[in-house]
A and B are shown apart, each in its own frame.
Chain A
Amino acid sequence: MVFNTGATLLDAIVLAVVSQETEGTYGYRITQEVQEVLGVSDSTLYPVLRRLQKDDCLAVYDRECAGRNRRYYKLTERGYSQLRLYQSEWLSYSAKISGILASGRRKG
């Protein structure tokens, strides 16, 4: 089933995924991991990564891998704070949604 995902939630998810690797991770892997949770298309992630980079939540560095270059993303200090903020905001928001949905009655 599809619930639409807003930009903010997508940012939060991407930050959470990238934060799991202390060394950071690269675009292709990030896309695969996010897709395990959300049914977003492959082209969705680049604009999000780019925006997080410009907002100084993610830093990039290049790593040589099997003779070619691979661009890694990792969280900055600001990225970690932002992630913490999203985590607490999500807890309260999702609790409210769960509460209201749970209160929905059956027909009858």
Chain B
Amino acid sequence: MNKREYLDCLERLLADLPQEERLEAIEYYSDYLEEAGPDGEQEAMRKLGSPEVVAAAVREGLGSNGNEGSWTETGYERWEPRFDAPAKQTDSDRREHRKLRILWGLLAIALLLFLKLPFLSVLGTILIAALIVVAVLRRS
């Protein structure tokens, strides 16, 4: 396969991509093979791998942020944990926090009822309790 055939094949393999992406990729690999010079062309194509391999690499880069796999000497392999992002607060963490807050709210209500503050009627206590519950739920 010569350079022209290689690039034509690659272009066909990328036909379903948006035009800009396809053109960028072809331009890159065309420049790349030219860089190798007429004598180095075959070797460069061999080192790149088949057009299928190159097309897969292009797709892989576009499909995700590339963070679903990793590169080894034998090629791209799926999934490796990233080293950068610290663990974010998970949903279960949030639920735990929420439960804690509700618990505190209920404790506050229980305390109020227990104290039976003289200037508060029963209705007043219930109203304050309701306000506390709403405030707690809003914050969580």
Residues of A within 8 A of B (CB): 2, 4-11, 26-28, 31, 38-44, 46-51, 68-71, 86, 89, 93
Contacts and interface: CB of A to CB of B under 8 A. Distances in A.
A6 B24 CA distance: 24
Interface residues of B, number: 39
A87 B21 CA distance: 30
Contacts of A70: 31, 35
Nearest to A46: B28
B136 interface: no
A26 to B, nearest CB: 7
Contacts of B28: 27, 46, 49-50, 71
B71 A69 contact: no
B71 A38 contact: yes
A4 B80 contact: yes
Contacts of A93: 83-84
B60 to A, nearest CB: 6
A7 B66 contact: yes
A27 B32 contact: yes
B86 to A, nearest CB: 10
A69 B67 contact: no
Nearest to B69: A7
User: Which 8 A-B residue pairs are closest in the complex by CB-CB distance?
Assistant: A47-B61, A7-B66, A39-B73, A28-B35, A4-B70, A43-B57, A42-B47, A42-B48
Contacts of A6: 67, 70, 80-83
Contacts of A44: 57, 71, 76
Given A39-B73, A40-B73, A71-B31, A47 B62 contact: yes
A93 B85 CA distance: 11
- Most chain B CB neighbours (cut-off 10 Å) among A7, A28, A39: A7
A86 B62 CA distance: 22
Given A6-B82, A7-B69, A10-B66, 15 more contacts: A2-B74, A4-B72, A5-B72, A7-B70, A10-B71, A28-B31, A38-B71, A42-B49, A43-B49, A43-B53, A47-B62, A51-B61, A68-B34, A71-B31, A89-B83
